[in-house]
Amino acid sequence: MKKVTRRSFANTLGKGMAATALISPLYSSLAYSTTTTKKLGVALVGLGSYSTYQLAPSLQDTDYCYLSAIVTGTKEKEQLWKEKYNLAKDCIYNYGNFDTIIDNPKVDIVYVVLPNSMHADFCIRAAKAGKHVICEKPMAMNVAECDAIIKACEDNNVKLSVGYRMQSDPYTKEVKKYVMEKTFGDVNFVSSDAAYISQGNPNQWRLNKALSGGGALMNMGVYSIQTSIYGTGENPISVTAQEFSTRPGYFKDTDETITAQFEFPNGAVGHMMTSHNINGNRLKVHGDKGWFELDPAHSYGPISGRTSAGTEIKFPLKMQMALQMDDFAKHIQLGTTNMAPGEMGKRDMIIVEAIYKSIAEGGNKQLLDLGTMGIVS
């Protein structure tokens, strides 16, 4: 695979980006008591659409962290963001001077929001700078890179989380509660769709395998994998997968549509679909005493749910990214649960690799050994 440098990435940006998007001992250079209320400073690395329209606005609605710095390769964005978010001059970084962030006490957390091919590099460098790390999903290009990120964070005694916003959403917590308490009996089937129709610039990085590592599966597919798992409360023990393409002229380098079937230890089965050419946004869980569903299930909100008992699943709307980043800040300072640890990101990448392998082998079943990872839902 061709190595992607910051310069080549900047060139790719010029061609157009997509318009869419263990609790371990502390600490880094700062020590916190279990009763502290100090807000932690977050540096966003990469100011694409997700940072611009989701993360930065969400950081205006957080209780335990705030936007303290930015890292961008676009000179024009520096002044724009500085003025909009009242950022200090010494909190504006580019990809070339990023490592000097080690000297900035205003930055406690580095959130890497770059193309997938750059996750490992910047997560590792952030860890070496003594900063806690949030790595946007998917965690990396492959399992080996996930291992490298986890090791860097452990070696430098910093916390690591993956940008799974849904893990902090109340609807997800309600699904987990239904499954754990067997509200609708033992789960026997789960179906999850996470997909949208891509109509953007064909030169966007998500359609460039060297930058993305894959197509729909690496982008939306991780949501289907996640919901399939917390919809059953178990890690899958096998997967079989298929790939379909109806627009080969547009999806020249990455997968367009993928379906996969899971088997779970308790005998339940699951079906997932992910695509860049179909609209799909649903989770439905069938138990032996009824069913429940979220439709839409993976959106920024509002989400909507219902059950076979005729009840509506409904919670007040709050930005998932604000909940996600506050959860991580609380984990760092107060030792609360890490909702999306690095091991979870690694687990999902193991499943992604197994899906791609199944497709390459004509749909052969791939056995999964995830029981020793300690991460379930």
**Residues with a known catalytic role:** 137, 223
Tell me the helices (H) and strands (E) count for the chain, helix number first. Answer: 12, 15
Q: What is the C-alpha R_g of the chain? A: 20
Tell me if 233 sits within 8 A of 180, measured CB to CB.
yes
For residue 175, give the nearest of 222, 239, 237, 228 by alpha carbon: 228
**Other beta carbons within 10 Å of 247:** 13
Name, in order, each residue with C-beta under 8 angstroms of 193's C-beta and a sequence gap of 6 or more.
224, 272, 273, 274, 280, 281, 282, 283
308 DSSP assignment: T
258 DSSP assignment: E
For residue 331, give the nearest of 200, 184, 159, 188 by alpha carbon: 159
Can you tell me which residue has the tokens 């940072």?
A: 51
Can you tell me which residue has the tokens 């959130």?
A: 111
Per this entry, what is the length of the chain? Answer: 377
